[in-house]
């Protein structure tokens, strides 16, 4: 009987640890994204593809050339569930990126 209680307790402890790790990872991702929005270098990009995912949200593929780079960087980003908020193909968009790692980028909210 105590072995069953121990097993359940062990499984619950592992579940709690996993939830805590997931929440910390989400917080870290948000913090990195917020850093880009406030400190990232700004570049002009262009939307090259828009598509709708199976779950109903929209994704945007955009391309931009970081300052001093010869080749453009192409990235995909989740754009939300509202079609009205999704830029059309060919639209010029602001892109915030990490100058040390240009592949880390987001569509700019303030451009």
For the chain, what are the domain ranges? 40-107
Q: Count CB neighbours of 47 within 10 A.
A: 19
Q: Tokens representing 65? A: 């050339």
pTM: 0.65
Give dist(CA 49, CA 28) in Å, integer: 28
Task: Read off the pLDDT of residues 49-58 as tens digits, 9 standing for 90 and up.
Answer: 999 988 788 9
Q: Tokens representing 87? A: 């830029």
3-state secondary structure of 90: coil
Give dist(CA 25, CA 32) in Å, integer: 11
Task: Read off the pLDDT of residues 16-70 as tens digits, 9 standing for 90 and up.
Answer: 777 766 656 554 455 555 666 667 899 999 999 999 988 788 999 999 999 999 9
Length of the chain: 111
């Amino acid at each position: 009987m105590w072995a069953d209680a121990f097993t359940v307790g062990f499984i619950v402890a592992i579940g709690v640890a996993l939830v805590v790790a997931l929440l910390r990872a989400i917080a870290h991702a948000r913090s990195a994204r917020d850093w880009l929005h406030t400190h990232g270098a700004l570049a002009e990009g262009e939307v090259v593809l828009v598509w709708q995912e199976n779950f109903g949200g929209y994704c945007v593929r955009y391309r931009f050339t970081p300052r001093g780079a010869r080749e453009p960087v192409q990235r995909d980003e989740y754009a939300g569930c509202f079609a009205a908020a999704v830029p059309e193909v060919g639209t010029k968009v602001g892109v915030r990126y990490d100058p040390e790692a240009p592949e880390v980028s987001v569509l700019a909210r303030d451009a």
